[in-house]
Structure 1
Amino acid sequence: MSTRIVSLVPSSTETLLALGADVVACSKYCEQPDLAHVGGTKNPDIAAIVTLAPDLVVLDREENRIEDHDALVAAGIPVFVSDVTDLASGLAVVDELAKAAGVKRGRSARHFRPFSGERRTAVVPIWRRPWMTIGSSTYGASILDALGVDVIGFGDDPYPAVELSDVAEARPDLVLVPSEPYVFNDDHVAEIAVAAPDATVVRVDGQDLFWWGIRTPAALSRLSEALGLQPTL
């Protein structure tokens, strides 16, 4: 009998489905229109989840709230919590999810080798009004580190608010503009280009940069190509 799973993490939902797990519902942000949706990552419908009586609910330490975790545990529902903070854990979580779901991994884990070329610096905006970027301690920064790109962090906050003048002062080699979570239009990109005239501005796939798991090996290759680099896997 298969393990019936509710996944409230987009990366995990994508990974579990690729592994052949029995995902019966997911969050509305998981981009799976054929599955039942049970609210968002930060505001799931706990009652709806309990009604589904899943064997397992999949959460992530950063994506989801401790209050919802505790409510599910109190309802007697087993919970799996991932904690993906870097490239290594983004690869390892595939095996962890396969074990939790009771399915076979299907292929051996992929390994990556350190980047050995000339390194570059980058700022990665993720929001506007206020402008926000990713910090150097995030999963996205770890992905870029493997590609020879050092994220400028603007302090210890993993997602700091900044001014465009801060970006200009940092003098990055690159400004990498992801397709999500914020949809930057051409005018926004032009703002960035004016603020950092010496930087190369590159649009990148936000899911490849921020989603982890089953997509990570191919995401590294696609990001390498977007940045004009060789894959590190």
Structure 2
Amino acid sequence: MSGARTRVVSLVPSLTEAVAASAPGLLVGVTDWCTHPGGLDGSGAVRIGGTKNPDVERITALRPDLVIANEEENRAPDVAALRAAGTEVLVTEVRELPQALTELDRVLVGALGLTRPRWLDEAEAAWADVEPAGALRAFVPIWRRPWMVLGRDTFAGDLLARLGVHNLYADHAERYPRVPVEELAAAGCDLVVLPDEPYRFTREDGPEAFPDRPCALVSGRHLTWYGPSLAEAPAVLAAALGAAR
């Protein structure tokens, strides 16, 4: 990839925040799920649909220099359609923290030609200083009706492992297995970790299914996003985990 990028469409909320925090004004299109930083709707960026159903015609009409996507969050047919229309697409892959830091550098510095942002160095330093407080066995629901949990090879699972939380389903054959709530309720664990996205678990919606287990309500943005939130994620997540014990 070469040449200055002045018109960028992001199909990933994490990357939207990363680009907007590093170079305000580059984004001309973002998804309906892009919520950070605040003020996106007043920045001139056009909403182009969801991460799973982007409006390809609307995106191409924006004449972007680059579309940034993710192999998990976005569908291969949509990426293929954009490329077939002559749009350049950079697809990231993020399964663990070091990979996230490398991919963020690839997007911001390599593809967009920006100076490496300070927040990226701060995020790397924050996680380098993490010392797990202890070993906890937990499972991590990400959806209900049906119940789904974090399985193998996930970015969120890697972050939790670095904080001393062992995911009971880390060796499952699937990355996001469906597990009957009866099985979850009977699981031998120290803690249930309930993020507020993609399903919005709250004190009134989630913990009641596991009355005999402590439940940690955690910020989904700090657990699953790879962007500026990574700099404060260790402290935010550790506080939520500690409060539940």
TM-score (normalizing by structure 1): 0.90
Map 1:98-137 to 2 at 5 A: 98=108, 99-107=110-118, 109=121, 110-111=124-125, 112-113=127-128, 115=131, 117-137=133-153
Amino acid at match of 2:99: S
Q: What CA RMSD, in Å, does the superposition of the two structures yield over aligned residues?
A: 1.9
1:136–1:152 contact (8 Å) kept in structure 2: no
Residues 116, 37 of structure 1: CA spacing in aligned structure 2 closer, same or farther, 3 A cutoff?
Answer: closer
Name 1:19's counterpart in structure 2. 22
Q: Displacement, 1:228?
A: 2.6
Q: Which moved more, 1:107-116 or 1:3-12?
A: 107-116
Give the one of 223, 227, 231 matched to 1:213.
227
Name 1:166's counterpart in structure 2. 183
Deviations 1:88-128 (A, max 9, x none): 11222221111211211133632434645421111111111
Name 1:224's counterpart in structure 2. 238
Amino acid at match of 1:67: P
Name 2:33's counterpart in structure 1. 29
Amino acid at match of 1:122: A
Map 1:58-97 to 2 at 5 A: 58-97=68-107
Q: Which moved more, 1:202-211 or 1:33-42?
A: 33-42
Amino acid at match of 1:191: E
* SS of 2:232 mapped into structure 1: helix
For residues 177 and 91 of structure 1, the distance between their equivalents in structure 2, rounded to whole angstroms, comes to 25
For residues 172 and 132 of structure 2, the distance between their equivalents in structure 1, rounded to whole angstroms, comes to 26
Give the one of 33, 54, 60 matched to 1:50.
60
Structure 1 segments of 4+ aligned residues over 6 angstroms from their partners = none
Map 1:177-188 to 2 at 5 A: 177-188=194-205
Residues 116, 39 of structure 1: CA spacing in aligned structure 2 closer, same or farther, 3 A cutoff?
Answer: closer
Map 1:194-205 to 2 at 5 A: 194=211, 197=212, 199-205=213-219
* SS of 2:58 mapped into structure 1: helix
For residues 97 and 215 of structure 1, the distance between their equivalents in structure 2, rounded to whole angstroms, comes to 17
Q: Displacement, 1:191?
A: 2.6
Residues 186, 228 of structure 1: CA spacing in aligned structure 2 closer, same or farther, 3 A cutoff?
Answer: closer
For residues 75 and 210 of structure 2, the distance between their equivalents in structure 1, rounded to whole angstroms, comes to 36
Deviations 1:13-72 (A, max 9, x none): 000111115011111111233321011111100001111110000000000011011111
Structure 1 alignment gaps of length 5 or more: none
* SS of 2:242 mapped into structure 1: coil
Taking only the aligned residue pairs, the percentage that are identical comes to 38
* Aligned residues between the structures: 226
For residues 111 and 22 of structure 2, the distance between their equivalents in structure 1, rounded to whole angstroms, comes to 12
2:96–2:154 contact (8 Å) kept in structure 1: yes
TM-score (normalizing by structure 2): 0.86
Give the one of 143, 151, 161 matched to 1:145.
161
For residues 157 and 64 of structure 1, the distance between their equivalents in structure 2, rounded to whole angstroms, comes to 18
Amino acid at match of 1:129: R
2:28–2:46 contact (8 Å) kept in structure 1: yes
